[in-house]
Structure 1
Amino acid sequence: MSGFKDVVGHNDIIQYIQNAVVKDKVSHAYILNGEKGSGKRLLAKLFAMSLQCSDRETDGDACGRCQSCKQAVNDNQPDIIRITHEKPNTISVDDIRQQIVNDVDIKPYSSPYKIYIIPQADMMSVQAQNALLKTIEEPPEYAVIFLLTENAEVLLPTITSRCVMLKLRNIKDTLVKKYLMEQMEIPDYKAEICVAFAQGNMGRAIMLATSDHFNEIKEEAIQLLKYINEMELTEIVNAIKKIQEYKLDVSDYFDIIAIWYRDVLIYKATRNVDRVVFSDQLKFIKEQARKSSYEGIELILESLETAKARLKANVNFDLVMELLLLTIKEN
């Protein structure tokens, strides 16, 4: 497993963690807040490894060689405890009581700290947060709690005010692309597409680069966009049925359409092919740029946002998609 020096991006957070470890100014509670795939789990794991390492580097990074580090890499370090929950969308008060409140007074087994990592901490019920609050207010000196959240705003103010907030930002596209090409040996064109979709999220970029399912969705969407102007209504209805198969991934489908028309808009405005993501479809991008007006492209992009909102509001899937595809066809 990599150390801090091998993490892409998040330099400010890493610098903060290393300073805290080296200067022995570790807080009892941290919130690592960022979207799914942003690196919260990795940073929490590396932070925990550094705190428990018996042969730490001078910069605060874990050595990766000692017994504690080896155990942590394999997720069986006895004093690094990952909180689990049975209910899929809720961390209950019983989960927090059983795994933290009733456990925290037991001293570490073999390490300087006893570390609790709570993934999806924004799923804690109000009762669970209140149960955790007493531990955060009056923790044993050896206890450290990491709350990993996508939406820290839903936590009680009494919780957030007692935690150090570490906000994970988007990583620069150039760094994401470099990682995909150099570390994962992803071809330039494929890396470019993954970067465009990931929008600074390294975890998402890696997932897209290794997902055959995503490539299948992408090819389906591109085929539709290339020929939709010539399609009859019955063909559009059939296309919607095919999209229905990807219903769980419809956000990816929408992102593909958005990037396609962003390419069309960029080419229409600048004639610059270097900024086109779907560079292997340049012939069709140019043709669409010739046919579509600026107003038409803007209308399509607005219709995409409307379609997303309608699906979130549980409007009929077929109806939403039919309205969207007809807007695309007409513009």
Structure 2
Amino acid sequence: MNFQDIIGQERIIENLKRAFKNNKLSHSYLFQGADGIGKKMTALAFSKALLCKEKGEEPCNRCSSCVKFETGNHPDFFLIQPDRDIIRKEQIEDVISDINFKPFESSRKIYVIDDSQKMTREAQNCFLKTLEEPPDYAIFFLIIGQNMGLLPTILSRCEIIKFFPVRKDELEKFLISKYKKSKEEAEFISSYSKGSVEKAISIASSDEFVELREETIKIITDIVEGNSLKPFTSMEFFIKNEKKKEEIFNIILYWFRDIYLYKELKKKDLIINKDKLKLISDQTFLDIDKINDIIDNVQYTKNNVDRKANYQLSIETMLLNIQEG
């Protein structure tokens, strides 16, 4: 893990390096922003640099500290992650117990708490005293999403650094150079992933998403164009891909969003599915009210499924509603 692996967060990285160089590090940082835009990667790369025996702004990648960090065996680095979607009080108690011991190999001990908003209230209260009076050698990185979800007393003791989605043009260049994507492919992936590098890499490095997208669009297009049997004959696809339901809903929502925008504004630069522009144009025979109804219906179904409604019945109803208009 190195700073060079992170794209689009150069300003934040330079500020962290400057604080390190000038010996003005905070004891606790809170990295806030959308998922997949480099918060955790930045925390890991900076932790590696802080523990490196060469004491430079960049990790040397050669010393015993860097080697141990990369293999997950550094005795002065700790990554705390949710257990069954929460961070329990017992996990924080383990941190508090460990922090009483001085570093083993370096001058610092570093604790990265991923998805820190998932700490229970008991865990946060337990953590607070340590955050108020940390040992000189301790540094905390709290990774958090868009919604804070932390006690104000914790927030007030952290230096909050906001991460923003990676710019579309930067993401496109990255996809073209590293994943050998065409300009058209890179444009679609960067638009669809909304500035999330993690999401873009996931799409670019697997054919699975391409197949899922193609089949989903084909099913929806057939239904819109009047194939009365499609809502029933396509159910096998939806059942087989239930674990990918979040992606399927997004593909459908972005598809009708594009039809709406192209029908209303005729602006290609606003379209996510630019590689399907001809097909989108063909479906602008739908009236605006119908498109809005479909979008509302799909979003309603997605919300219901998220709340544990019966998946198969919800999908059947959604497809029939799309067909009937």
Do these two structures clear the TM 0.5 threshold for a shared fold by scoring above it?
Answer: yes
* Contact kept in structure 1, 2:116 and 2:143, CA below 8 Å: yes
- Trace 1:1-331 onto structure 2 (pairs within 5 A): 1-3=1-3, 5-57=4-56, 60-83=57-80, 87-98=83-94, 100-150=95-145, 153-228=148-223, 229-232=225-228, 234-271=229-266, 276-289=271-284, 291-331=285-325
CA distance in 2, matches of 1:161, 1:276: 41
What SS class does the counterpart of residue 179 from structure 1 fall into? Answer: helix
Return 277-286 or 28-37, whichever deviates more.
277-286
List per-residue Cα deviations over 1:274-324 (Å, max 9, x = no partner). 6654444444222211x2122222222222222222222333323432343
Give the letter aligned to residue 305 of structure 2.
Answer: L
List per-residue Cα deviations over 1:141-174 (Å, max 9, x = no partner). 0011112222552222221111111222111111
Return 66-75 or 158-167, whichever deviates more.
66-75
Tell me how far 1:84 sits from its aligned partner.
Answer: 5.0
What SS class does the counterpart of residue 102 from structure 1 fall into? Answer: helix
CA distance in 1, matches of 2:168, 2:9: 13
Distance 1:140 1:275, change over 3 A: closer
Return 192-201 or 238-247, whichever deviates more.
238-247
**TM-score normalised per structure 1:** 0.88
List per-residue Cα deviations over 1:48-98 (Å, max 9, x = no partner). 1222223344xx33333333223323322221122356x412222222212
Give the letter aligned to residue 199 of structure 2.
Answer: R
What SS class does the counterpart of residue 123 from structure 2 fall into? Answer: helix
CA distance in 2, matches of 1:43, 1:8: 10
Q: Where does structure 2 lack aligned partners over 5 or more consecutive residues?
A: none
Identity of counterpart residues, as a percentage? 31
Return 5-14 or 246-255, whichever deviates more.
5-14
Distance 1:26 1:294, change over 3 A: same
CA distance in 2, matches of 1:121, 1:7: 21
CA distance in 1, matches of 2:7, 2:234: 39
RMSD: 2.3
* Contact kept in structure 1, 2:33 and 2:164, CA below 8 Å: yes
What SS class does the counterpart of residue 254 from structure 1 fall into? Answer: helix
What SS class does the counterpart of residue 103 from structure 1 fall into? Answer: helix
CA distance in 2, matches of 1:128, 1:141: 22
List per-residue Cα deviations over 1:191-232 (Å, max 9, x = no partner). 233222211111111011123332222121121123112211
* Contact kept in structure 1, 2:222 and 2:230, CA below 8 Å: no
CA distance in 2, matches of 1:280, 1:89: 37
* Contact kept in structure 2, 1:197 and 1:255, CA below 8 Å: no
CA distance in 1, matches of 2:81, 2:250: 32
CA distance in 1, matches of 2:239, 2:147: 33
List per-residue Cα deviations over 1:230-279 (Å, max 9, x = no partner). 211x4312323421222222221122122222332343345455665444
* Contact kept in structure 1, 2:192 and 2:272, CA below 8 Å: no
Give the letter aligned to residue 303 of structure 1.
Answer: N
CA distance in 2, matches of 1:235, 1:248: 21
